[in-house]
Amino acid sequence: MIEWMNWTPTVAIFFAVIACILLTMTVYEVVSPCTERKGFLPISTTRGDRLFIGLLSAAYIHLAFLAVSDITLWVALAVSVAWLLVLLRWG
């Protein structure tokens, strides 16, 4: 499967993680449906909104790290995960 179209393990892991997150959030939503609420973000959001904002900002955090520094991207990943969790809990 991974040989097809030159898929690389990195990309496979990346999409597997995204798929897992989406799946987990779907199951979570079915088990305990969320209500729209307002946290520290200027708009009221649902859990899905916050996940979207978190993932999108994670992409930008990684790009920013690439653009301005030579630091390993694991740091960017750690920052992104921390930000995503903060966002999901208090956003």
Residue type, 18: I
Question: For residue 45, with 0-12 CB atoms within 10 Å meaning exposed, 13-18 middle and 19 or more buried, which class applies?
Answer: buried
Distance CA 65, CA 72 (A): 8
| Residue span binding another protein (CB under 8 A) among the ranges 20-28, 38-46, 82-90 | 38-46
Least spacing, CB of residue 86 vs another protein, in Å:
19
**73 lies in the binding site for another protein (CB under 8 A):** yes
Number of residues that bind another protein (CB under 8 A): 19
- Give the residue among 79, 49, 51 at the shortest CA–CA distance from 63: 79
With CB under 8 A as the contact rule, the residue among 16, 17, 27, 56 that binds another protein is: 56
Least spacing, CB of residue 1 vs another protein, in Å:
13
CB atoms near residue 91 (< 10 Å): 21
Q: From residue 16 to residue 35, what is the string marking binding to another protein with x (rule CB under 8 A)?
A: --------------------
